[in-house]
Structure 1
Amino acid sequence: MCNFCPSRRGLFSGIGSLAVTAALGAVASESALAQPTRSVETPDAALARLMEGNARYASGKMAERDFSAGRAARAQGQAPFAAILSCADSRVAPELAFDQGPGELFVVRVAGNFVTPDGLGSLEFGAAVLGTKVIMVLGHTSCGAVNATVEALQKGNTLPGHIADLVRAMKPGIEPVLKTPGPDLQQRAMIANVQANVRRLQTEKPILGDMVAAGKLKVVGAYYDLPTGKVMMV
């Protein structure tokens, strides 16, 4: 049975929280025998594991791995401990930035690292079915999508094609920053965009918000510094 298919929206919409719990429990139980062991089982431990991995990456002391080892076992299931909502920027690779092997991170990527309907469904699936303990919204320095949004809002220019959709999606989080004078506008806009999406995910119903309130999930914001490789919490 496919655990994740286009019908997930129908599953998650128009039903009460009890029905959501029952439906997700049924999906999870079918694959329980195949699920490998998760490396950590609490939100705080999951966040600590991410940051410890980044410290290794930034210092050039990454763990040695045989990526072929465990390949057959991973074919039977997955138990990622963290989900990352990351920018699609080619210079940002979450598995490398946090020094994690295959099967450890559930990664959703879009230019500008903002929440889309499909991305939200993916993060809900990761938390409620796969059991991720933390969701990190990860921005980065010198983000082209953020900079393009700032310029478009300042000058009123329209970007071509569906690139304009990125501006519309990031506008609510970034626009307030333009009204506050000060240096480092693009940096402040990048951080504001991360924080806006963290707030949204923390309260999204009926799944993520309830898990956060129950202490089963943590949603945090951070950014990746391109020159140093360090991840900074915001």
Structure 2
Amino acid sequence: MSVIGAQEALERLREGNRRFASDASGSEAATSTSRRRELAAGQSPFAIILGCSDSRVPAEIIFDQGLGELFVIRVAGNIVAPSQIGSVEFAAERYGTRLVVVLGHSNCGAILTTIEELGRAPDHRHRNLGSIVNRIKPSVQSLLDTGLIEDHDALVRHSVRTNIRMSVGHLRTGSAVLEHLIADEGLMVVGAEYSLETGLVEFFDT
């Protein structure tokens, strides 16, 4: 059973983010001892957030949500790999959650690192970053042949959004389970970008 529909969940996130950005957060009751005890028996998250691991972008805080309300998956660069797809499938099927948000953010360090790595000779690249850089690379590579290469800040901004949209696309079309839930069960997968400067989240592809 779905907790709430995708559109209602989306509006709940928007409202929570507006509270956070205006310093009017009100999730204290949702982190209380009684709430913790209530959740010991189970959970019903109303949204799944696939976000970046950046310490400045904790989903529960920027959406002003408490315990048990969000199923959060965090990885540098909000990339989509098999383990992330499996985690989304798990939450969407087990808990009936009908909204998935791929949450990127301005000035993403993983995007900056990818741009730096692509500027290095192959034998000078960091091997252990490859699993992340290689998944972000197509988002950046598609922009390097444009005039954006002359404007680093613009290149980063566009790369962040392209990377978010690419991750959204992977979730929408890279899993038979999620494709079924999208087509038949009302699952919605959307992209969003959090501004480190303003605290606001902009949703797109909704």
Give the TM-score normalised by structure 1. 0.79
Q: Which residue in the other structure is 1:209 paired with?
A: 179
Residues 174/213 of structure 1: CA separation in 2 closer, same or farther (3 Å cut): farther
1:187 corresponds, among 157, 176, 190, to 157
Instruction: Give, in angstroms, the shift of residue 228 of structure 1.
Output: 1.1
Query: Kindly tell me: are residues 52 and 164 of structure 1, through their superposed partners in 2, closer, same or farther at Cα, counting changes over 3 Å?
Result: same
Q: Is the 8 A contact 2:85 2:175 kept in 1?
A: no
Q: Which amino acid aligns with 2:49?
A: I
Distance 2:93 2:42 in 1: 15
Would you say 1:70 and 2:35 are equivalent positions? yes
1:35-77 CA distance string (max 9 Å, x none) = xx93xx1111111111111011001111141322221110100
Q: Which has the larger radius of gyration?
A: 1
Q: Give 5+ residue unaligned stretches, structure 2.
A: none
Alignment pair present for 1:123 and 2:88: yes
Quick check: 2:27–2:64 contact (8 Å CA) kept in 1? no
| Residue 43 (structure 1) aligned with residue 1 (structure 2) | no
- 1:61 pairs, out of 5, 16, 24, with 24
Name the amino acid aligned to 1:81. Answer: F
Q: How far is the alpha carbon of 1:97 from its aligned partner?
A: 0.5
In the alignment, the residues of structure 2 paired with residue 204 and residue 52 of structure 1 have an alpha-carbon distance, to the nearest angstrom, of: 30
Q: Kindly report which structure 2 residues correspond to 1:123-202, keeping only aligned pairs within 5 A, or say none.
A: 123-156=88-121, 158-182=124-148, 183=151, 184-202=154-172
Q: Describe the SS at the equivalent of 1:70.
A: helix
In the TM superposition, residue 160 of structure 1 has moved relative to its aligned partner by 2.4
Distance in 1 of aligned mates of 2:93 and 2:121: 41
Partner of 2:197: 227
Picking from 79, 83, 86, the partner of 1:114 is: 79
Higher helix share: 2
| Comparing 156-165 and 67-76, the one that deviates more | 156-165
**Which is further off, 214-223 or 189-198?**
214-223
Cα offset, 1:174, TM superposition? 2.5
Letter matched to residue 201 of structure 2: V
Tell me, yes or no, if the aligned pair for 1:177 and 1:192 is still in contact at 8 Å. no
Q: Which amino acid aligns with 2:85?
A: L
Give the alignment's TM-score, normalised by structure 2: 0.90
* Alpha-carbon distance, 1:162 to partner: 1.4
Q: What is the distance in 2 between the residues matched to 1:211 and 1:156?
A: 43
Q: Displacement, 1:217?
A: 0.5
Q: Are the counterparts in 2 of residues 150 and 189 from structure 1 also a CA contact under 8 Å?
A: no
Q: Which has the higher contact order (CA 8 A, sep 6+)?
A: 2
Pairing 1:14-53 to 2, within 5 Å after superposition: 38=3, 41-53=4-16
- The unaligned stretches of length 5 or more in structure 1 are 1-31
The 1-side partners of 2:117 and 2:25 are apart by 39
Quote how far apart the aligned CAs of 1:122 are: 0.6
Q: Cα distance, 1:199 vs. partner?
A: 0.8
